[in-house]
Structure 1
């Protein structure tokens, strides 16, 4: 397991590279050019700027999250080929600077949805929260007004250019079914995977968050069966999954441990985090500790260890603790605690294996 930490860049993150460097075992940053609109080719000078910053701090830039997919590609519009061509050019540039994994998603309109970014828990911490009844009743065109966040920080998945055209996007998706989305995803993959393979980059799709349809929009990256279907669209080691335990764990019917064992050779990147799911369908993001949520984090780390996982991993969304002022889900303190919990589980498994080997040798 190769530990990384998501970083949004100078001026767009409350966490510095110097702070990340002090977290044990973190070897790379997970990054992106968040100021480049979806569909545009990434400028090489901006890529090199991030690379140089990371290298000076002692980090690699092997993992990019995300190169966003333009809505015209998801909709299957004639204009998609222009945006796919830009995507290919970006892949080529990222290959030139040593990128190994590109995380992306294929969620229509919204990358992720929560109803409260700072829901207070009993201990005084706050976290991202999803209240099912509010999503069912709310007008999605007014949802942006309910997102209360520091306007100086970009919110991946909630880019201004996308939010300004919500009404038109919802109208465009009226006739788009899940099967249409599958077809459009297949078209996209058949175009980009050969380019990614040529440049040694593994594409890793992120699950839908939450993993079910919202506001009448289709969502397809939601379950083990659907990931199985996805991997067959282009059967290549360069077509993979970003397995996010928090996104998938919001549906308690998802067996994430089973997914790790089945898709082990197609998971180049892992997001590991916990959520607590309530009986009414609400969920809140918790600490990474297994006992604090509904997701079997200990079992998930064990599955990665047993399958010999040597891909990239990062702690995902954290709580906001110790009065830290930060972007929702992406403060320093709780994600650092999460890393140490994950390392504790990993090191314990390694220690047990070492003792067992010594016993076998002794016999």
Structure 2
């Protein structure tokens, strides 16, 4: 697999030189300073590509060309914004960048309650605590209808948890849930978040799914014409939060999406962490079932708890059999290569990582510290090399 690395651009504390030292050859990035729904100009794409190539690397995957909220709700400027999206696809293709990862999560991007969860080894990880989330959703945000969506035992536990929180604890929880996500084009406070949620109160899950399919029916033909492969990222976490619709949370959702707009340009990002937080998902089985439609892979692991909480485990630990997933992806690469495809390699990146060693206490994008991802990539590379050697 093509070993790649998420990079947040010139302001990222992890440098392109660090990416090379980690052993990756490809970069996964976006024009974050233009990620507000406008079309990406060719000159800006060329500038970012040249910067990456000057470091001896290749811009392998775009993550992400943002899907604006108006597109998700089919409201406001959605027609203009879809046209902008098509232009961005065409301009990226002209620059030779042919894989685009994107998501269709309403309002939120990936969501965690704790960005510094202390692990047994002394480093920190990302965690979603269902009781903390319930405390915020029901007792702090006081979202209309929230109480009916949480089991009584979670609400009772949340009352105890909230009573024990300091002012700074609560401020940190709120910032984690609604105020901060890397590469997002907007930041909420409590009132603006409530207003954003109100927009979705009248949008049912199936209506939202049809909005996604309508978007795909517009952009996939452009992507196919340009030789671009669109790779949708699953919802994270892969279950409803804040009463918002979730339509890319499991194997059934993935199958429905692929069937709605059949095309080699309509495919998946296999994120083993996001899909892996849903107990219904068997990741090795999904890797085998959807192999031909997997255009990109995020490889990370999670440990799930009985109440729905989870934390991000080390890459080879947790609940997902990472060896079996990698084996399935390597088998798909062999199949593509035998077909004579020039693009037979599946780009992968070590998704998220623990803050360990010298990265502890540094200002980094949570989940995207250097050393934890370097460790994860090295472990994944070891799996790949071992499986390739055993097959030789």
Distance 1:141 1:33, change over 3 A: farther
Cα distance in 2 between the residues matched to 1:190 and 1:162: 31
- The structure carrying a bigger helix percent of its residues is 2
Cα distance in 1 between the residues matched to 2:43 and 2:390: 47
Instruction: Tell which deviates more after alignment, 259-268 or 70-79.
Output: 70-79
TM-score of the pair, normalised by structure 1 = 0.91
Please state how far the C-alpha of 1:141 moved relative to its aligned partner.
5.2
5 Å-filtered alignment, 1:248-327, equals: 248-289=275-316, 292-308=317-333, 310-324=345-359, 325=362, 326-327=364-365
Cα distance in 2 between the residues matched to 1:66 and 1:174: 26
Q: Tell me how large the CA RMSD over aligned residues is.
A: 2.0
Residue equivalent to 2:158: none
Contact 1:239–1:266 (CA<8 Å) still a contact in 2?
Answer: yes
> SS at 1:320's partner residue?
coil
Contact 1:196–1:203 (CA<8 Å) still a contact in 2?
Answer: yes
Cα distance in 1 between the residues matched to 2:188 and 2:34: 12
Contact 2:98–2:227 (CA<8 Å) still a contact in 1?
Answer: yes
Cα distance in 1 between the residues matched to 2:278 and 2:127: 14
Cα distance in 2 between the residues matched to 1:196 and 1:23: 32
Contact 1:34–1:156 (CA<8 Å) still a contact in 2?
Answer: no
> SS at 2:33's partner residue?
coil
What CA deviation, in whole Å up to 9, does each residue of 1:312-349 have, x standing for no partner?
Answer: 10000100001412210001111111111111111111
Structure 1 stretches of 5 or more lacking a match?
A: 355-363
What CA deviation, in whole Å up to 9, does each residue of 1:52-77 have, x standing for no partner?
Answer: 11111111112100011011111121
Please state how far the C-alpha of 1:159 moved relative to its aligned partner.
3.2
Residue equivalent to 1:191: 218
Please state how far the C-alpha of 1:78 moved relative to its aligned partner.
5.1
Residue equivalent to 1:330: 368
Cα distance in 2 between the residues matched to 1:205 and 1:228: 12
Contact 2:352–2:368 (CA<8 Å) still a contact in 1?
Answer: yes
Cα distance in 2 between the residues matched to 1:352 and 1:286: 27
Distance 1:34 1:147, change over 3 A: farther
Contact 1:111–1:157 (CA<8 Å) still a contact in 2?
Answer: no
> SS at 2:32's partner residue?
coil
What CA deviation, in whole Å up to 9, does each residue of 1:95-136 have, x standing for no partner?
Answer: 111111100000000011100101111211001110011212
5 Å-filtered alignment, 1:1-363, equals: 1-11=1-11, 13-24=12-23, 26-77=24-75, 79-139=77-137, 146=173, 155-156=181-182, 158-160=184-186, 165-289=192-316, 292-308=317-333, 310-324=345-359, 325=362, 326-354=364-392
Instruction: Tell which deviates more after alignment, 304-313 or 329-338.
Output: 304-313
Cα distance in 2 between the residues matched to 1:38 and 1:141: 26
